Every structure is written in structure tokens, then in C-alpha cells.
């Protein structure tokens, strides 16, 4: 028996097999969970559907997290499919490419607002929609993905660091709001990973090399390590853990100079 046997998991933000969401999906499947996925737009649909077939996941359809009607319809489909929900994975972040290559102070008002809406507020909106479905199952767990740039100034991470800081604050306040219904909310702060979104960050390869060189484990993070930690945080194995940012970064966050 796996630690997710009999659990129903909705994973939002899977883009391709390089996404950090993908090892989360694989580990949840290996541990016995039923999985549902969404996608945003036709281009991502073509990537997500073959991955869904690999793990026997249900594709619920398109979800743009800036649209409340699509959030509502997605969770209505979850209710029709399962009647309730045990696990929610939020693997969504966005910043315009130019805002990850120039100085932070050049970010426009519109780009700042859009980055925070998609990267941080979306967790609030999705948690609100998930609440009654998790309550119907006696509780649940939510996991989102963050990065060290939330608490330290990382060159070129810029507005995304501000969005991740907001995301981690949302985790704490959601944990407070939802704890009385036995719903836990946590974040995983991962080391730099070579994903579709990280390719937009100027100097990303230098960032990744620095982690490998200076971390206590003296190696790069394996993306499957994020998947394994997510499976634990989403399962009853971590029943006393909520409101936390858990670092899966081969120890780099503890280093000074």
C-alpha cells in the first residue's frame, strides 16, 4: 500500500515532462493516488494529454487561473468525477520574460500585478474552490512551489521573487484559515531546476552551477526529490505539518558565504 492509496489529487500547472509538477504526478501515482490534470491553451494540451495517458490521469480540460468561471467549472468537474478532493498541487508561476532580464525597478505596474495575480493570488482562488471538496473528504492537503528568491535577493529573479514571497505568505494565512477543517497548506522551495519557465531567467545556468558548487551536498537537486517531498507533504505522513516552506535544495539555503 502506498501513502496516497485511495486519495484523489488535482494537479494544476503541469506543462511538460520537465515541469516540477511531473515528478509530483509520478510519485503520487506510484503511491496510489487517482490524479486529475488541467492545461492552459492548445499548445500545452498537446503536451499534457500524452503525460496523462502515461499515468492514467483524467484531463479535466482547460484552466486559466485568472478566470473565476474556469476555476468554478474545473472544480465542478472534480465534484462530478470524485465527489470530493484530498490533494491539490499548485505549480503555477508567471513573469514576463523582460522582467527576468532587466533591473527589478523597471517592472511596469501592469506586469507586477499580473505576475502576483497568477503566481500568488491563484493559490488563494484555488484553495477557496477546493475547500468544500476537501471538507467533504474530512480534510486535505495543498502544496505549492516556491524558490529561495522569495526570501533573498537573487539577481534577475526580480518580480518573480516578490511573487514567491507573496505566495509563501499566502501559504501561512491559508493554513490558518483552513486548519480548522483539517486542510493543510505547505510550500516546497526547490533548487533551480531546468524547466520551461526557468529558461526565461537571465543567467539561470550560473545560478544552478552555484547551487551545485556551494551546497552542503555538493550536487544538483534531482527533480524527483521534489516529487517525493510533495507526496509526503500531501499524505497523512505529514499530518502535523502546515503553513511551512520546506526546502528541497540540497541544503543551499543554509549557506552564508
The predicted structure's pLDDT at residue 194: 66
Beta strands in 20-152 (DSSP E): 34-39, 58-62, 87-90, 140-146
Catalytic site includes residue 157: yes
Catalytic site includes residue 147: yes
Q: Distance between alpha carbon 120 and the CA centroid of its chain, in Å? A: 10
pLDDT digits (tens, 9 = 90+) for 6-34: 999 999 999 999 999 999 999 999 999 99
* Residue from 121, 147, 173, 247 carrying the catalytic annotation: 147
What are 237's three cell numbers? 505522513
pLDDT digits (tens, 9 = 90+) for 52-111: 999 999 999 999 999 999 999 999 999 999 999 999 999 999 999 999 988 999 999 999
CATH topology of domain 8-249: Rossmann fold (3.40.50)
* Residue from 39, 157, 173, 247 carrying the catalytic annotation: 157
> What distance in Å separates the CA atoms of residue 215 and residue 186, rounded to the nearest whole number?
23
Half-sphere exposure of residue 96, counting CA atoms within 13 Å on the CB side? 14
Domain extent listing, the chain: 8-249
> What distance in Å separates the CA atoms of residue 163 and residue 257, rounded to the nearest whole number?
26
| Global model pTM greater than 0.85 | yes
Amino acid at each position: 500500500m502506498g501513502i496516497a492509496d485511495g486519495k484523489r489529487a488535482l494537479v494544476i500547472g503541469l506543462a511538460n515532462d520537465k515541469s516540477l509538477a511531473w515528478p509530483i504526478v509520478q510519485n503520487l501515482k506510484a503511491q496510489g493516488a487517482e490524479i486529475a490534470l488541467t492545461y492552459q491553451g492548445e499548445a500545452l494540451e498537446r503536451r499534457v494529454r500524452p503525460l496523462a495517458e502515461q499515468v492514467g490521469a483524467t484531463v479535466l480540460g482547460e484552466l486559466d487561473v485568472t478566470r473565476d468561471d474556469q476555476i468554478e467549472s474545473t472544480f465542478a468537474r472534480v465534484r462530478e468525477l470524485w465527489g470530493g478532493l484530498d490533494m491539490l498541487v499548485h505549480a503555477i508561476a508567471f513573469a514576463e520574460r523582460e522582467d527576468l532580464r532587466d533591473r527589478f525597478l523597471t517592472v511596469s505596474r501592469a506586469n507586477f500585478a499580473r505576475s502576483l495575480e497568477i503566481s500568488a493570488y491563484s493559490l488563494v482562488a484555488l484553495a477557496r474552490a477546493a475547500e468544500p471538496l476537501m471538507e467533504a473528504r474530512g480534510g486535505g492537503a495543498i502544496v505549492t512551489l516556491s524558490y529561495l528568491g522569495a526570501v533573498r535577493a537573487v539577481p534577475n529573479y526580480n518580480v518573480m521573487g516578490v511573487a514567491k514571497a507573496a505566495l509563501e505568505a499566502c501559504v501561512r494565512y491559508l493554513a490558518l484559515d483552513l486548519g480548522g477543517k483539517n486542510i493543510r497548506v505547505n510550500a516546497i522551495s526547490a533548487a533551480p531546476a531546468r524547466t520551461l519557465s526557468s529558461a526565461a531567467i537571465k543567467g539561470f545556468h550560473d545560478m544552478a552551477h552555484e547551487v551545485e558548487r556551494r551546497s552542503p551536498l555538493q550536487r544538483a537537486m534531482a527533480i524527483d526529490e521534489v516529487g517525493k517531498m510533495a507526496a509526503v507533504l500531501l499524505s497523512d505522513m505529514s499530518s502535523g505539518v502546515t503553513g511551512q516552506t520546506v526546502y528541497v535544495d540540497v541544503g543551499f539555503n543554509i549557506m552564508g558565504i
